[in-house]
Amino acid sequence: MKKSLLASAAVWALILPGTANAQGDRLAELERLMNTQAAKMETMRVEMEAIKKEKKSAGKSAGHIKKFGAAPTFASDDGVFTFKPRGRLFIDFWNSNDDKNLENDFDATEVRTARLGGEGTITGIKYKLEAEFEEDGLTGLTDAYLQIKAFKPLVFTIGQQKTGNSLEELTSSRHITFMERGGMTDVFSFSRQIGIKVSHDAHNWGAAVGVFRGAFGDSTPDEETTVAGRTYFHGKVANDKGMFHVGGSFRYRDFAKTSKTVRYRQRPHSHIQTRYVNTGTLAADEDLFFGVEGAVVLGSFSSQAEWGWQSPDMLAGSDPDFNAGYVDISYFLTGETRPYKKGSFQRPKIKKPLGQG
């Protein structure tokens, strides 16, 4: 009996170490497999994070539509850059009959204006670039400027822009009352020129002054110098149901030394018509303009008027005085009103567009 017990103990003594060694190997192998799997999972996690960052970065560069109004405004996700396409296409048809002078009869159509461009902001600086086209292709740039608002309350506008004269001239041709602007804006040659303008628009008044030389497309080596300024005041009337605007502007032009000439001319009503008002070429060293302007809006009723005086400094003979002005009246039968902002009229908001009944 004692020998049997000793034999059994010896057998178990031989078996147990082998079993323990086998279990240890299995545990080591299992631990190795788990570590390998964990490493693979970590690699996958890092790769997924990289893919997410790449997609997020790609999304930022693509940007998004910030606003969808009359035209969409695109913006980068960080807000640094915005872009809004702009343009216009005006097609005019005119028919005129003159019983006293058959030469004034005409029946014609023209593409009055065709423009394409864009505007927006880059790191807080506003930009605007718009090109004009005719039958022969690109004819030039209308607006091409940067507007800096970093020096509040002053705003600096640098580039090709309007000199800043006349309520009618500074209101976009998309928002004026009639198909053509009041005659005084063209007869006195208000236009866009390259220069720098400093302006300030407060709650109910504004002022601007600028210095300009030449315009895009000028081929002359010597250009005229222009100094222009404008101020205006506006307020509410009729228990805030209406508004009024009054203002004035000036412009001084020193003509190019190589071409001391000026000409004042204008077409009546239509851009297709001939220029009935035409002074011919005048030999002058400089000219000076002063103008006053006013407007009132009462609900659907609105009216505006301007008067301007201009006198050239003739190289010989006496200096003539030229005067021009206009008055217009309008009324919305469908209840709209003319919006006004910062010294000019804006796009009316239609209450019931045709596409919406």
| Integer Cα distance of 162 and 144 in angstroms | 10
What pLDDT sits at residue 325? 94
Q: E strands, 265-315, where?
A: 265-266, 277-278, 282-298, 301-314
Structure token digits, residue 222: 């010597």
Long-range CB pairs of 231-237 (<8 Å, 24+ gap) are: 231/205, 231/206, 231/207, 232/167, 232/205, 232/206, 232/207, 232/293, 232/343, 233/204, 233/205, 234/204, 234/205, 234/340, 234/343, 235/204, 237/296, 237/298
Q: What's the rounded Cα separation, in Å, for the pair 77 and 309?
A: 51
Going by pLDDT thresholds of 50, 70 and 90, the confidence category of residue 11 is very low
CB-based contacts of 41, cutoff 8 Å, min separation 6: none
Predicted pLDDT of residue 37: 74
CA 234, CA 249: separation in Å to the nearest integer?
15
Q: Which amino acid is at 199?
A: S
- As beta bridge partners, residue 59 has none
Q: What is the distance between the alpha carbons of residues 112 and 186, in angstroms, rounded to a whole number?
A: 15
Q: Which pLDDT does position 131 carry in this prediction?
A: 92
Q: Give 87's strand partners.
A: 116
Range name among 15-19, 290-294, 322-326 with the lowest pLDDT average: 15-19
pLDDT over 90 (residue 98): no
Q: What is the pLDDT of residue 78?
A: 82
Using a 10 angstrom Cβ sphere, with 0-12 exposed, 13-18 middle and 19 or more buried, the burial of residue 109 is exposed
Residue 256: what pLDDT? Answer: 85
Is 106's pLDDT higher than 80? no
In this predicted model, which residue has the larger pLDDT, 275 or 189?
189
CA distance 141 to 111: 17
Residue 94: pLDDT above 60?
Answer: yes
CA neighbor of 352 nearest in space, from 335, 337, 331, 330: 335
187-237 pLDDT, tens digit per residue, is 999 999 999 999 999 999 999 999 999 888 776 777 889 999 999 999 999
Q: What is the pLDDT of residue 322?
A: 94
What's the pLDDT at 66? 72
- Which of 98 and 91 is assigned the larger pLDDT? 91
pLDDT at 134: 76
Q: What b/e sequence results for 72-101 when a residue is b if at least 16 CB atoms lie within 10 Å of its CB, and e otherwise?
A: ebbbbeeeeebbbebeeeeeeeeeeeeeee
Structural element, H or E, at residue 341: strand 340-341
Q: Which residues fall within 8 angstroms of residue 75, CB to CB, at 6 or more apart?
A: 63, 64, 65, 66, 81, 82, 83
- pLDDT recorded at residue 12: 42
Q: Is the pLDDT higher at 278 or at 311?
A: 311
Which of the listed ranges 26-40, 108-122, 305-319 does the model predict with the highest average pLDDT?
A: 305-319
Mean pLDDT on 168-179? 93
Q: Stretch 9-35: mean pLDDT, rounded?
A: 60
Q: What is the pLDDT of residue 2?
A: 47
Please give the mean pLDDT across all residues of the chain. Answer: 85
Which one, of 261, 244, 147, lies nearest residue 199 by Cα?
Answer: 147
Q: What is the pTM of this model?
A: 0.78
Buried b (16+ CB within 10 A) or exposed e, 330-344: eeeeeeebbebeebb
pLDDT of residue 247: 98
pLDDT at position 56 over 80 = no
Q: Give the pLDDT confidence score for residue 91 in this predicted structure.
A: 87
Q: What is the pLDDT of residue 137?
A: 67
Q: Out of 39-53, 74-88, 222-236, pick the least confident.
A: 39-53
Distances (CA, A) of 146 to 52, 169, 273, 320: 37, 20, 36, 38
pLDDT of residue 339: 95
What distance in Å separates the CA atoms of residue 84 and residue 118, rounded to the nearest whole number?
5
**Per-residue pLDDT at 76:** 86
Single-letter amino acid, residue 291: G
Structural element, H or E, at residue 61: helix 2-62
Looking at residue 217, its amino acid is G
